[in-house]
Structure 1
Amino acid sequence: MADDNKKEVQTPSSDKPSKPLHPAYSVTTLDGTKVTYTSWVKLFRLHGVAYQVLDHIDETPPPAETNPEFQSWKELDALVLQWILSTVSDNLLPRVMDNTTTTRHAWLKLEKIYLSNKKARAGALETKFFNLTLAACSSLDNYCERLKDLVNQLEDVDHSVTEERLVLHLVRGLSAKFDTTASLINANNADWDLARSMLEDEVIRQEARQKTSQSVLVATTPQQNSQTQPPLHPSTGYNQQTPQQPYYNRPRGRGRGRGRENRGRGSGRGTPNPSLG
């Protein structure tokens, strides 16, 4: 009986609680959307905080190799390094992978690639920013996104663009059909978000007006054609709205009609009057 009780309290090895899995292992890769370096850094840092791996990309030193936690840290660091390699573009991948052993090494390499030679890069970005207009973009959204991306890249090289300057350039690069909205943006000293919302509302209004104009044009065109070109009668081939006179009832030419009338009048005057004797 004692042996039976002893068996009941024993816990099989398969039922022992396992070590909790680190949250980072539940994620494979980051979003692969191509963004600017600044945006990518912000996204990756947020990801690192959420999954408790920020110490792999900042200046936190790794544990010593003699530390029992070193092996688990090394495995986790390899996973975070895979995140980085999975989110960089194909042309950057060989440069980042070259002689890279840890996440921190890859992080510093990307920083060097994007932030080196700041003055030359700032000059090139300033030129792109100044010359960009709505006409060079596929849409208003594309225009706003490209402006914002250039501002973020300028911030990377220590050339910040104020929001006021960004809005002024946004207005300057618009086409003539946005003149009224541009004046309202300047008059209200709108910030970036408000200015973009006002322009988006104007795009919606213009598109609605264009659709209304097209609908009216489609509705009036058949009626105009029916007035200018009335249908023909299926048997006679004449216009159904204007009945055709028979050939013998049609008026003759002006010259021939007058000639016959004159001949009739002449013969009448030449006939003697029987009452005059």
Structure 2
Amino acid sequence: VYLTDADRTSGSENPAYTEWEEQDSLLCTWILSTISSSLLSRFVRLRHSWQVWEEIHNYCFTQMRTRSRQLRSELRSITKGSRSIADFIARIRTISESLMSIGDPIAHRDLIEVVLEALPEEFNPIVASVNSQTVIISLDEL
């Protein structure tokens, strides 16, 4: 805030600091204007733009991590059930794409494994055939 001790004593602030504070305030206002009103209460206590940005990052990271856990849990527990094979694989593909969109992709090999493990016993011959192949097949080939 002050350049020297004499400035501190006289109360004369550094003009560059004052300009920075004004710019930071404008930036903070701009960032806050882009936030949904339902989330604004999380940010009103923050004074500087870097604090707002960090809180946005933390909030989004928490949301993405929670979503990733939900999607991965769904993948672990998914079964074909009464769905057609096409619908079953489409659901797995949707989950996989959702994971990819939040930066947590699932490996293709793991995805094929999810499909094979979730199939009922009537598909055991197909599962055995796929497992005996040396090349990993795609979801479309499955």
Question: Normalised by the shorter chain, which TM-score bucket?
Answer: 0.5 to 0.7
Task: Name which of 139, 143, 153 aligns with 2:98.
Answer: 153
1:122 maps to 2:34? no
CA deviations over 1:30-76 (Å, ceiling 9, x no partner)? xxxxxxxxxxxxxxxxxxxxxxxxxxxxxxxxxxxxxxxxxxxxxxx
Aligned to 2:115: 170
Contact 1:151–1:161 under 8 Å retained in 2? yes
Aligned to 1:24: none
User: Which is higher, the Rg of structure 1 or of structure 2?
Assistant: 1
In the TM superposition, what is the alpha-carbon distance from 1:195 to its structure 2 partner? 4.2
Moved over 4 A (4+): none
Contact 1:163–1:191 under 8 Å retained in 2? no
In the TM superposition, what is the alpha-carbon distance from 1:193 to its structure 2 partner? 3.9
* TM-score, structure 1 as length reference: 0.28
Higher RCO, 1 vs 2 (CA within 8 Å, ≥6 residues apart):
2
Letter in structure 2 aligned against 1:120:
T
CA 1:120–1:150 in structure 2 vs 1: closer, same or farther (change >3 Å)?
A: same
Q: How many residues are aligned here? A: 83
Aligned partners of 2:127, 2:64: CA distance in 1, in Å?
33
Aligned partners of 1:195, 1:134: CA distance in 2, in Å?
17
In the TM superposition, what is the alpha-carbon distance from 1:190 to its structure 2 partner? 3.3
* TM-score, structure 2 as length reference: 0.53
Task: Name which of 121, 124, 132 aligns with 1:179.
Answer: 124
Q: What is the DSSP-based 3-state SS (H/G/I as helix, E as strand, rest coil) of the residue aligned with 2:131?
A: helix
Aligned partners of 2:140, 2:88: CA distance in 1, in Å?
16
Which 5+ residue runs of structure 2 have no aligned equivalent? 1-35, 37-55
Contact 2:89–2:139 under 8 Å retained in 1? no
Contact 1:185–1:195 under 8 Å retained in 2? no
RMSD after superposition: 2.2
What's the % identity of the aligned pairs? Answer: 12
